[in-house]
A and B are shown apart, each in its own frame.
Chain A
Amino acid sequence: MSAMAQQVKDFLTVSAPFDSLSDDQQQKLCKGASLLYLTQDNISDVTGAHKGRVFLIQNGQFSVKDSSDSERHLSEGDFFGYPAVMDNTRYPLTVSVDKPGLVFSFTAEAFAHTLSIPDVNAFFENSRQNALQNQALAASNSMWLYKALADVIDNAPVTAIESTSIQQAASVMTEQRVSSLLITSDNKLSGIVTDRDLRSRVVASGIDVDLPVSEIMTANPARIANNRTMFDAMALMSEKNIHHLPVVDRVSREPIGMLTASDIIRHQRGNVLFIIGELAKAESLYELTRLSWQLPHYFAAHAKRAGDFDIAGKVLSQATDIMTRKLIRFYQRDHGDAPMGYCWLVYGSQAREDQTMGSDQDNGLLLERKPDEAQAAWFADMADYVCQGLGKCGIKLCDGNIMASNPDLRLALDDAIEEARGWVNAPTSEAIMHFNIFLDVRGVAGDLGLFRQLQQARAPLLKQKMFLAALARHNNEVPVPLSMFQKFVYQKGHSKKDCIDLKVHAIAIINNIIRIYALANEVMVPSTPARLANMPANSGLSTRDGQNLRDIWLFLNRLRWRHQLTQNVTDNLVSVSELSSIEKHQLKAAFKAIERSQQAAVMAFSGGMG
């Protein structure tokens, strides 16, 4: 058997999907393989001596046509030649060298063999469809089910020994505010007693409460070890039709806690949602800020899986909504009711419910009519209190002064409608940069009817063709961070050499695209996934493109949340070196898809005049 050079191994180990291969599988893949230094001079070998093989580029840049699809510009980490093997068809292969470099050539047999590995097969199937792998997404909804019980059980077990009297047992349960009691003998679990047992076996049958509790306990109850999952516990509970399940240590078998049906409901609702419940109970600015400052810790501790990242932005936005409503209430408690109808509006990421830890506050006030001096002062004071309060709660003040504390953002309804007319009449690039943020808007507190009036008055204005055309052209001016040869283009002027601003160069572009379609179709909701879900059938955006954009949007959001939580930062500058090799591929595919949609929007709304 021939030796395998470390550099070959190293390269395969960073090349999705081969990074998942075992040493043995790598050896098999490399059987009969070559490493080509490919230049214009020996390029004919690819179609000659290496005909029918599968190629993986280690470095250099090549333009390749290897299937019925159009020519692709490829570089480091890209594959070619595989469509022929997968389809068992001979596609004519044309390769031209843009920059010479090293290219692995694998035999068709060795490559076909790796396709029996499901992940590898899925990778190549998906590369062909240019689609993102979204299995993880489907799975994310049920992630909480796979939490280990050891992570779920946090309270010390409430136990009593067998000889405890029934009455004492009942008073322990009352003191500890639990609905069930673990009964032990020699520290081992021997039975359980529940509220229901006390009712049916004691009270209803008039038994002597001085008898030992072992008389009425359910002896030798069903139990589960702490290394099993919530899913296992639920399966067991429904099978046995019980609401209390003792959890025992995997090794010592000693009881360590009780899992109840209500525990499961709490987890089912989503762990991260818990904090919202707590916020809603706050009764003072002090309490509110104390709880708010726990939010980052809470996310860092509990958001671990893809599915958690998907809802994190929504949770954070809802938390901010609650803070806002609370602050308004605190203010009104001290200063009396508002002098007229108003609605507290939020813009940008809070409106779209995709806030991250770094998002600052963007808000404004909509007033029923023009206020007199005293009324204006009341609102100015309230806005100041709420914005400063949000700042204290950790929602940064807005650098661009897009806050209700800014008098320009406390408009009467008629003025707000007039303002929109101004946008539509002169949608210059500069103007779009200024008002883009106001196009994603949501009412959070006060008279939501007022906000609805504004939306209804504005909708026909904002769907005018010239206006949408300007938005589409403007959005086309931001490039996705990919070079002609599908290499990542990194942000300049940052200490990290390989970072990409996922917000500016990807997520914001999708938000813009979807916003344009939403305005065109008078879809009023501000969140990007919700806009997609509410898009009518004839919106101009195909269902498939819509689903694809939604998956990409979720994927990118997931990456930036993970970046912020694992790196403990609040920026959106994700380093490519933070990503696994499969994520790098997905990110490239995502950028390509975004670019296509950008261009499609220009075609659809401004007749192709980019």
Chain B
Amino acid sequence: MPVSDISFLAIDLELTSLDVTTSQITSAGWVSGRAGDIDLDSAYYQVVKTSSSLEQSPVIHGLTADTVAQGCHVSDVLDALMPFAGTHIWVFHNARLDTGVLDKALRENGRSLDNIVVLDTLKYAVYQLEKQHQVLPPNSATLTVCRQRLGLPLAPAHNALDDALATLQLWFAQYYTYNGGTKNVTIDDFLSIHVAKCKKMGKKS
């Protein structure tokens, strides 16, 4: 299937820490699109009620204990997200952390997902940068810097929905910048360079 016919869902999770083993989801946002066309009606944002300490989260994401206490249970977010598993390729900027936490949350809530295709815009950026640089310049692959490089406007960072939207814009900009004019690019081309991966998540069956 050519990439231009595939639906993508960019997801961003805001977490209590950067440690997969202890981190919890404080909010989630996503938005879907296809062939450069982002459907603003699909935008989703939800604050999650978490038991563990918020640590640095209030500082970075602006989520305070009060807001988090009014949030929903993480299983509600998972329920909303799971229908996109078979239909969309999931896009993250730095997938490792977010999919790790997602995997843990699915397991803890007794859910599982097979054959999710996960695409990482950070990996794609690094792949392109490595063509030009032996050693990558510091901070050359953050979401903001990657967007700047492709001429996208500044976007407010560290809100789950805004980061998801920014990630999806980045993906489309990357796709068209590096593959523009070429027909028949498929997702296999991204699997082969390890920018996309098939994943199983959640409890082992």
Q: Are A and B bound to each other? A: yes
Most buried by B among A5, A30, A31: A5
Complex CA distance for A101 and B152, rounded to whole angstroms: 7
Complex CA distance for A2 and B42, rounded to whole angstroms: 6
Q: With an 8 A cutoff between CB atoms, is A41 at the interface? A: yes
Complex CA distance for A49 and B37, rounded to whole angstroms: 10
Surface stretch bound by A, among B93-101, B102-110, B137-145, B165-173? B165-173
Contacts of A610 in B (CB 8 A): none
Q: With an 8 A cutoff between CB atoms, is A70 at the interface? A: no
Complex CA distance for A99 and B152, rounded to whole angstroms: 11
- Are B176 and A39 neighbours in the complex by a CB distance under 8 Å? yes
A-B contacts, 5 listed (Cβ < 8 Å): A2-B41, A34-B37, A36-B37, A40-B180, A41-B4
Residues facing B in A2-24 (CB within 8 A) are 2-8, 10-11
- Are B36 and A2 neighbours in the complex by a CB distance under 8 Å? no
Contacts of A58 in B (CB 8 A): 153
Residues facing B in A93-139 (CB within 8 A) are 99-102, 105
Residues facing B in A300-324 (CB within 8 A) are none
B153 to chain A minimum Cβ distance, whole angstroms, is: 5
- Are B43 and A3 neighbours in the complex by a CB distance under 8 Å? yes
Q: With an 8 A cutoff between CB atoms, is B162 at the interface? A: yes
Contacts of A6 in B (CB 8 A): 156, 159, 161-162
Contacts of B119 in A (CB 8 A): none
Given A3-B29, A7-B155, A7-B162, is A45 in contact with B35 using a C-beta cutoff of 8 Å?
Answer: yes
- Are B152 and A7 neighbours in the complex by a CB distance under 8 Å? no
Contacts of A32 in B (CB 8 A): 41
Q: With an 8 A cutoff between CB atoms, is B31 at the interface? A: yes
B22 to chain A minimum Cβ distance, whole angstroms, is: 28
Contacts of B172 in A (CB 8 A): 37
Complex: chain A residue closest to B46, CB-CB: A3
- Are B36 and A42 neighbours in the complex by a CB distance under 8 Å? yes
- Are A3 and B45 neighbours in the complex by a CB distance under 8 Å? yes
Q: With an 8 A cutoff between CB atoms, is A59 at the interface? A: yes
Complex CA distance for A4 and B29, rounded to whole angstroms: 10
Contacts of B190 in A (CB 8 A): none
- Are B153 and A102 neighbours in the complex by a CB distance under 8 Å? yes
* Binary contact track B79-120/A, C-beta < 8 Å → 1, others 0: 000000000000000000000000000000000000000000
A468 to chain B minimum Cβ distance, whole angstroms, is: 46
Contacts of B31 in A (CB 8 A): 5
Complex: chain B residue closest to A76, CB-CB: B153
* Binary contact track B40-55/A, C-beta < 8 Å → 1, others 0: 1111110000000000
Complex: chain A residue closest to B150, CB-CB: A100
Q: With an 8 A cutoff between CB atoms, is B66 at the interface? A: no
Contacts of B153 in A (CB 8 A): 11, 58-59, 102
A74 to chain B minimum Cβ distance, whole angstroms, is: 16
- Are A3 and B161 neighbours in the complex by a CB distance under 8 Å? yes
- Are B44 and A34 neighbours in the complex by a CB distance under 8 Å? no
Question: What size tier do the contact residues of chain A reach?
Answer: 20 to 34
Complex CA distance for A60 and B36, rounded to whole angstroms: 14
Q: With an 8 A cutoff between CB atoms, is A282 at the interface? A: no
Contacts of B45 in A (CB 8 A): 3, 5
Complex: chain A residue closest to B161, CB-CB: A5
Given A3-B29, A42-B36, A102-B169, is A10 in contact with B156 using a C-beta cutoff of 8 Å?
Answer: yes
CB < 8 Å: which of B37, B43, B166, B181 contacts A4? B43
Given A5-B43, A102-B169, is A59 in contact with B176 using a C-beta cutoff of 8 Å?
Answer: no
Residues facing A in B14-67 (CB within 8 A) are 29, 31, 33, 35-45
Given A41-B176, A99-B151, A100-B173, is A36 in contact with B38 using a C-beta cutoff of 8 Å?
Answer: yes
Residues facing B in A50-67 (CB within 8 A) are 50, 58-60
A127 to chain B minimum Cβ distance, whole angstroms, is: 22
- Are B155 and A59 neighbours in the complex by a CB distance under 8 Å? no
Total A-B residue contacts, Cβ distance less than 8 Å = 95
- Are B176 and A34 neighbours in the complex by a CB distance under 8 Å? no
Please name 17 further chain A to chain B contacts, defined as beta carbons within 8 Å, in addition to the given A2-B42, A37-B176, A40-B181, sorted by A numbering. Answer: A2-B41, A3-B29, A3-B43, A3-B161, A4-B43, A5-B29, A5-B43, A33-B41, A35-B165, A41-B4, A41-B180, A45-B36, A49-B37, A59-B152, A100-B176, A100-B177, A105-B37
Q: With an 8 A cutoff between CB atoms, is A38 at the interface? A: yes
Question: What size tier do the contact residues of chain B reach?
Answer: 20 to 34
- Are B166 and A7 neighbours in the complex by a CB distance under 8 Å? yes
Complex: chain A residue closest to B44, CB-CB: A3
A156 to chain B minimum Cβ distance, whole angstroms, is: 52
- Are A102 and B161 neighbours in the complex by a CB distance under 8 Å? no
Contacts of B156 in A (CB 8 A): 6-7, 10
B49 to chain A minimum Cβ distance, whole angstroms, is: 18
- Are A30 and B152 neighbours in the complex by a CB distance under 8 Å? no
- Are A35 and B176 neighbours in the complex by a CB distance under 8 Å? no
B193 to chain A minimum Cβ distance, whole angstroms, is: 20
Complex CA distance for A563 and B43, rounded to whole angstroms: 41
- Are A5 and B162 neighbours in the complex by a CB distance under 8 Å? yes
Complex CA distance for A33 and B43, rounded to whole angstroms: 11
Given A37-B36, A59-B152, is A2 in contact with B165 using a C-beta cutoff of 8 Å?
Answer: no
Given A33-B41, A36-B37, A49-B37, is A5 in contact with B176 using a C-beta cutoff of 8 Å?
Answer: no
Complex CA distance for A10 and B154, rounded to whole angstroms: 11
Contacts of B161 in A (CB 8 A): 3, 5-6
- Are A102 and B152 neighbours in the complex by a CB distance under 8 Å? yes
CB < 8 Å: which of A4, A5, A34 contacts B39? A34
Contacts of A2 in B (CB 8 A): 40-44
- Are B38 and A37 neighbours in the complex by a CB distance under 8 Å? yes
Complex CA distance for A452 and B124, rounded to whole angstroms: 77
Contacts of A101 in B (CB 8 A): 151-152
Complex CA distance for A36 and B166, rounded to whole angstroms: 12
- Are A41 and B181 neighbours in the complex by a CB distance under 8 Å? yes
Complex CA distance for A50 and B166, rounded to whole angstroms: 22
Complex CA distance for A5 and B40, rounded to whole angstroms: 9
Contacts of A45 in B (CB 8 A): 35-37
Complex CA distance for A140 and B38, rounded to whole angstroms: 45
Given A58-B153, A102-B152, is A8 in contact with B40 using a C-beta cutoff of 8 Å?
Answer: yes
Complex: chain B residue closest to A1, CB-CB: B41
Complex CA distance for A305 and B155, rounded to whole angstroms: 35
CB < 8 Å: which of B37, B151, B177 contacts A42? B37
Nearest 5 A-B pairs (CB), nearest first?
A3-B45, A37-B172, A37-B36, A35-B38, A39-B176
Contacts of A105 in B (CB 8 A): 37
Most buried by A among B29, B33, B153, B180: B153
CB < 8 Å: which of B162, B169, B177, B180 contacts A35? B169
